[in-house]
Amino acid sequence: MEYRGFLFTKIEFRDFDIVVPFVCTCCGWCCEHYLPRFTESEVLRIAEDAHRQCDDTLRQYLEGYEKKRHGRDVRCVFLLASGLCGIHDHPLRPEVCRLYPFSFRDGDERCPPFRNHRRIVAALTANAGTLELYDSSFCPDEEFRPPSEGRAIFFWKRFIAAKPSPVLVRKYLVINELDGVPGNSLSAGHFIAQNNSGYSRQ
């Protein structure tokens, strides 16, 4: 499940919520190490849609899946030479890929952007008292309870102290409904303009 177009971790405090979007850097790590499960007909359809040799693609997939069954990391047959997913927008892209790294029980700590995501979440929840954590793999309540202005500023300062990327700054503000409010000092543009830590628009 995506939340406002993002994979996420939702922190539910007693009276309000903070949502931390996950930012994929398209490093290709997951595609280099995982071969998701497809049916034979799915492999053939995707290969045909991608104008690839269907029999060769199916053979490569079956050989790779046999290696995977024996516990080896296997590169996905749909990973492009550019290092990007070749089926990112295909309707048959598996849910395990759409939800990665949250498709693993506690996330995949071997994913570099996920380690950074967990670090940000830990900074926001340090000594925070009672809370519940949910992520894109399961979140029972999609309702968002915005924090008060004082709470929003408190967690904003914690968030910034964790040194998020400029891309994450903007997404955090959007997903937590803090950006685009006239006069709001917690806007991406205001923060970037006022901050001397090397942030810049991308």
Residues 60-104 pLDDT 10s: 999 999 999 898 889 999 999 998 999 988 999 999 999 999 998
Q: Specify the pLDDT at position 190.
A: 53
DSSP state of 135: E
187 or 108, greater pLDDT: 108
Q: Among residues 137, 110, 146, 111, which one has the least CA distance to residue 16?
A: 146
Contacts 24+ apart (CB under 8 A), 78-81: 78/31, 78/46, 78/50, 79/28, 79/31, 79/32
Amino acid at 53: Q
Residue 131 falls in which region: left (phi positive, over 0), alpha (psi -120 to 50) or beta: beta
147: which DSSP letter?
P
Mean pLDDT of the chain: 86
Q: pTM of this prediction?
A: 0.81
